[in-house]
Structure 1
Amino acid sequence: MIIKTDLIIVFDLDDTLYKEIDFLKSAFKDIADFLSKKTNKTAKLILAEMILAYQEKKNVFETVIFKNNIQGVVVNDLIKRYRNHKPNIYLTDSNKMLLDNIKQSVYKTGLITDGRCIQQQHKIEALGLNDYFDDIVISEAFGSEKPNINNFKYFVEKYGSHYKYVYVGDNTSKDFEAPNKLGWTSICLLDNGVNIHPQSFNTLPYKKPTFKIRSLTEIRDLLF
């Protein structure tokens, strides 16, 4: 068992601590409510049109504006609403219990997330994550995004290299390269079929995670 003062564990946010598709659906609902006031269609019907366009890999906002002949609204207006809305997303009970356990069991906890500050902060607030993490690195504020090694070195430079570091993420294209180079243990949460970004393990060895898990609860068995 790794004692508390030995371990610093850092998480990714999107598609790791919650499913990013839930943020997308929340944003689409907010936009559908907004657009329904400018058409004779219900928000429910507009939402269905948006989800269908997304599934068909179309430009969702362009499609819904054109299909409903909406005047006075452009794609950038909807992009802003998407990014800035306050999402209706939540942690699962099992993930809450895990984070509670980890917070009590390890020396420090961290979060590294790529994205715009407002959008990512709204997610963090909606999920109630501020109480779980000692340090939160958001790429826009930090000045670089994964796989830039500096986003990870931040923790080593702050706390020292004598601790054991673990990183938990999901994106095989950018999540594991930097922590692997730093000698961290890297853990990949496998896609359950709804991830925004597809996973591929047909990649160079230094980009592959140390471990793969199907549920975050498996972290307990790996580390404690």
Structure 2
Amino acid sequence: MMSRHRIAVFDLDDTLYHEHDYVVSAFSYIARDLSHRYALDYDAMVGAMMSAGNPFDNLLRYISHTAIPITEDVAWLVDTYRNHPPTLKLSADTKRTIEMLQAHNVELAIITDGRVTSQNNKIKALGLNRIVKPENIIISEAVGGDKLSGKPFELLVAQAGSDNEYTYIGDNPAKDFVWPNRHNWTTIALADTSGINIHRQEWDKFPAINRPQHIVDNLLDIVPLIVKPDIVN
């Protein structure tokens, strides 16, 4: 018989790190690659991609104005964006949150929507593959269904056992909390206090089933919600 324990299940993008940082990393990688192979200005290319509008259309438009011929196209840019080795790091608060949960014997897991290569590259860059057990890292593409399908959550429960205290920590009301709410998990949203999240947190536009039970401004604030039977130091 499995013993009952607590499992903190994290979303990845805009929860454990800012997805904006991944975007910046990808644009920097692309500009660096092109500037090494062509007489193109790195800063100007990054600026073009970071400006309003489609980043790759902006980049190719800028390059066309330089009259420097390149062989790379939109397909190359998209592929490089998705598969580049990102430069990312966990914030001090995220590291401390993980350490505090581990100190209270809370098991960690990640459920994230996205492509296997891209998400695994992020997880490795952040060092999360050294913290979370491989079987507790579930990526939607790998299981053939996103969070709204329920497949990633169902797989985790099948592996870890149904008689556990599960908490899901995410940011996106469109898909993060629906399945966990329906299955009596604790749900916590990390508020977009910086205003740079990819998905806007317009809570009032979503039905109750999409909304988290708790909203915190700092990831550290999830600790007492998860380890409530213990004394949090």
Normalising by structure 2, what TM-score? Answer: 0.88
Q: Do the aligned partners of 2:144 and 2:151 also contact (CA within 8 Å) in 1?
A: no
Q: Do the aligned partners of 1:100 and 1:132 also contact (CA within 8 Å) in 2?
A: no
The equivalent position to 2:202 in structure 1, one of 177, 187, 200, is 200
The equivalent position to 2:217 in structure 1, one of 189, 205, 214, is 214
Q: Do the aligned partners of 1:8 and 1:109 also contact (CA within 8 Å) in 2?
A: yes
Structure 1 window deviating more from structure 2 (107-116 vs 189-198): it is: 107-116
Deviation at 1:11, TM superposition (A): 0.3
Cα distance in 1, alignment partners of residues 160 and 72 from structure 2: 48
Cα distance in 2, alignment partners of residues 18 and 128 from structure 1: 12
* Total equivalences in the alignment: 217
Cα distance in 1, alignment partners of residues 82 and 221 from structure 2: 32
Structure 1 segments unaligned to the other structure (5+ residues): none
Partner of residue 170, structure 1: 171
Deviation at 1:5, TM superposition (A): 4.9
Deviations 1:12-36 (A, max 9, x none): 0000000000000000001111222
Partner of residue 132, structure 1: 131
Structure 1 window deviating more from structure 2 (69-78 vs 39-48): it is: 39-48
Normalising by structure 1, what TM-score? Answer: 0.91
Partner of residue 62, structure 1: 57
Partner of residue 149, structure 2: 148
Deviation at 1:132, TM superposition (A): 2.1
Partner of residue 187, structure 2: 186
Structure 2 segments unaligned to the other structure (5+ residues): 228-233
One-letter code of the match for 1:119? S
One-letter code of the match for 1:186? T
One-letter code of the match for 1:61? F
Deviation at 1:97, TM superposition (A): 1.7
Cα distance in 1, alignment partners of residues 226 and 79 from structure 2: 40
Cα distance in 1, alignment partners of residues 142 and 162 from structure 2: 24
Deviation at 1:104, TM superposition (A): 3.3
Cα distance in 2, alignment partners of residues 93 and 45 from structure 1: 32
Deviation at 1:154, TM superposition (A): 1.6
One-letter code of the match for 2:223? R
Query: How many percent identity over aligned positions?
Result: 36
Deviation at 1:98, TM superposition (A): 1.2
Q: Do the aligned partners of 1:103 and 1:132 also contact (CA within 8 Å) in 2?
A: no
Deviation at 1:161, TM superposition (A): 2.1
